Amino acid sequence: MGKSDSSKMNILTGGRAAQSAQPSRKKKPNSMNAMSRSNTARFVAPRVKTEMLQIIAFLEELSDELEDVEDLSAPNPNLRMTLLLLRGHLEGRVITATALIGASRVPYATANRRLKEMLDAGLIEQRPRTKTGKSFSMHPSEILIDQWSQLSSRVGRSVVSRFGAKQNLGETEDYYFGESYMDAKSIPPLQLLSEPLKLAGGLRVLVHGDPTFMVMNNLKRQFEHSIGTQIHQRAFSIDRLHDEAVRNADRKASRYDVIAVDLPWVGEFAERGVLMPLDEAMDIASVDPADFHTAGWKAAHWGGKPYGLPAQTTPELLFYRKDMLSAAGLEPPATTDALLAAAKALHDPQRGRHGIAWNAARGTALGHTVLMTLADFGQPILDLPPDAGGFATSHLADRRYNVTIDTEAGLRAAEFLVQLLEYSPPDILSMSWYERVRPYAAGRVAMAYGYTLLAPYFELDEDSPANGQTGYLPHPAGPGANQIAPVGGYIMGIPANLSPDRVPAAVEALRVFTSPEAQKLYVQNGSRTNPRYSVGADPDVRCLSPIFEAVDAMSWRDELQFWPRPPVPEINEIIQICGEEFHDMLRGVTAPSETLRRAEERADAVIKKHRST
């Protein structure tokens, strides 16, 4: 369990998990962090601040009620002190150690010990109140604020879903963050910066050549008008993008001001110094982290630090033809067995129709499918510890993990892929990202696994048989596993070797590109990805596609998960290995059991090699 998980457990349970946490690392001082520490409260977005205060009041009242029933509950000193600390922070009041101890409702010695544990865990900061340094005020650390803002959102949604919503949890029309979707205000158009960015030669951006970033390129003139300088954008395929970002890191000075990064690369790019930790360049609270989908925001972190802002949060879903399933008397498949049955029933190659399409091309494409299919059967690719909703990833920077491919769940996943092959198009073993969705859009495939960013291929094509007839589901689950929607997409970050004089302008550009106003603009011009809750709640956005309501419902149910592709430095090589070994299996060269053994041996060798260097 990583530090943040231990700290969170300590806060919520009042236990002593913080004693085992490592002391927080001291940051290099810089003017931005100094400003953030002295005036953090004013950088919390107003909506988030209001919500956090509401949750604090709710938990204070709930604690009072529970503690009044003495035989059932004892005071939780960690929670009590945390509530006072955060309330003081948000309301701009000075909180002392004496005040925290008094709020704990436990004996002085116990409260003092718990307070020290929270200080050691990096959850609380002390600041001198006088020149002598003998008196201190107490403040929540950035770690605690980030955890609490996300927790506030989750508690608020949970309370509403249990007690306040008119509809059930799966129907998110009424509420988000405890607010009404029906009363949600439309996000305003993209505005001009108060001062144009001053960048010699203009802003240089490196991105992936997918539909969302191409929408951004089509809107280049509008963004140039907004930020006040020219934009030079280069777009590459996924493998070339990775290689170019790595080459750029080896240059004396970066050729790009902002780069797009696939989520699984975050750990590698952090360890190799490709990306700059964003908290060293900007005030993170100013971008309203709680507004980002939780899975997408967590995926942007490595070792507790954010290395980019979510630009695309695009879960992989099951697209299915509602009309075809209805005509066959079939329900949308929630399990892998039901999926195979539906694929078999809808597979009619003599009439040019096939059951399902998916990523099965050798290498990177199939490798991603393997990791996600393992997850469908409840098996992460690494030995991750179980966590609420799936598996924990916050500890990965410790590099204490091993490969888990050759398991019973892995065998079931491999056999499932072999069965799926039977109801797939004849060219399935060469199908990758776009090839799997094009035949679906053309009506030649009844179901397809695909990222939401690929939905424009049929949603924006009035001649597509799938237009208006597509339903969206999380991945069907194997026996004993839960349905999840593996989160993909990109963050946008700042190269670590960017010239210091260009960093402030790059930060401002990053804010603009990932802002709610920009994200809404992308959607209005054809994108079907969205990293922010507020954009998904916008009435102008929700009327454009049912995909946003579907994804929001999955987020509410904790089905959006990024652990299927953990962002460790070795993940690219592991994906490639799986894509090679499983391709041989699907071609009939190796048996499933042999495939699993070979893939695990090769992946294990990669991890050992990285640890020795």
Q: Is pLDDT at 474 greater than 80 in this prediction?
A: yes
Two domains, one topology: 175-313+488-561 and 314-486+567-612: yes
What is the pLDDT, as a whole number, of residue 93? 74
Phi, psi of 94, rounded to the nearest 5 degrees: -80, 130
Band (180; pLDDT cuts 50, 70, 90) = very low
Q: Exposed (0-12), middle (13-18) or buried (19+): which is 256, by Cβ within 10 Å?
A: buried
Q: Is pLDDT at 231 greater than 80 in this prediction?
A: yes
Q: Is pLDDT at 275 greater than 50 in this prediction?
A: yes
Q: How does pLDDT run across 48-104, given as a tens digit for each residue?
A: 566 677 788 888 888 877 877 666 667 889 999 999 988 887 766 778 898 899 888
Q: Is pLDDT at 385 greater than 60 in this prediction?
A: yes
Amino acid at 77: P
Identify the sign of the CA torsion 562, 564, 565, 569: positive
Q: Are 285 and 424 in contact (CB under 8 A)?
A: no
Band (227; pLDDT cuts 50, 70, 90) = very high
Q: Residue 482 and residue 375: Cα distance in Å, rounded?
A: 9
Q: How does pLDDT run across 506-559, given as a tens digit for each residue?
A: 999 999 999 999 999 999 999 999 899 899 888 899 899 999 989 988 988 889
Q: Are 5 and 392 in contact (CB under 8 A)?
A: yes
Q: Is pLDDT at 174 greater than 60 in this prediction?
A: no
**Does 26 or 146 have the greater pLDDT score?**
146
What is the pLDDT, as a whole number, of residue 131? 65
Mean pLDDT of the chain: 86
Band (226; pLDDT cuts 50, 70, 90) = very high
Q: What is the 3-state secondary structure (H, E, C) of 279-343?
A: HHCCCHHHHCHHHECHHHHHHCEECCEECCEEEEEEEEEEEEEHHHHHHCCCCCCCEHHHHHHHH
Q: Spelled out in words, what is the top-level CATH class assigned to the domain 3-152?
A: mainly alpha
In three-state secondary structure terms, 234 is strand
Band (300; pLDDT cuts 50, 70, 90) = very high
Residue 382 DSSP class: B
Q: Find all residues with CB under 8 Å of 236, minimum gap 6, and list them.
A: 206, 207, 208, 209, 244
Q: Is pLDDT at 29 greater than 50 in this prediction?
A: no
Q: What is the 3-state secondary structure (H, E, C) of 393-419?
A: CCCHHHCCCCECCCCHHHHHHHHHHHH
Tell me how far the alpha carbon of residue 461 is from its chain's centroid: 29
Cα–Cα separations (whole angstroms), residue 182 to 172, 176, 188, 400, 442: 11, 10, 17, 47, 35
Band (163; pLDDT cuts 50, 70, 90) = low
Q: Is pLDDT at 257 greater than 90 in this prediction?
A: yes
What is the pLDDT, as a whole number, of residue 72? 65
Q: How does pLDDT run across 98-134, given as a tens digit for each residue?
A: 889 988 888 888 989 999 999 999 999 887 776 676 7
The yes or no reply on domain 175-313+488-561 and CATH 3.40.190.10 is yes
- Tell me the average pLDDT across 257-262: 97
Q: Is pLDDT at 194 greater than 80 in this prediction?
A: yes
Q: Find all residues with CB under 8 Å of 75, minimum gap 6, and list them.
A: 63, 67, 104, 105, 106
- Tell me the average pLDDT across 191-220: 91
- What pTM did the predictor assign? 0.70
Other CB atoms within 10 A of residue 363 CB = 16
Domain ranges of the chain: 3-152, 175-313+488-561, 314-486+567-612
Percent of the chain whose predicted confidence (pLDDT) is above 90: 61
Q: Is pLDDT at 406 greater than 70 in this prediction?
A: yes
**Does 550 or 151 have the greater pLDDT score?**
550
Residue 543 DSSP class: T
- Tell me the average pLDDT across 331-357: 97
- Tell me the average pLDDT across 267-292: 93
- What's the CATH code, domain 314-486+567-612? 3.40.190.10
What is the pLDDT, as a whole number, of residue 184? 54
Q: Is pLDDT at 177 greater than 70 in this prediction?
A: no
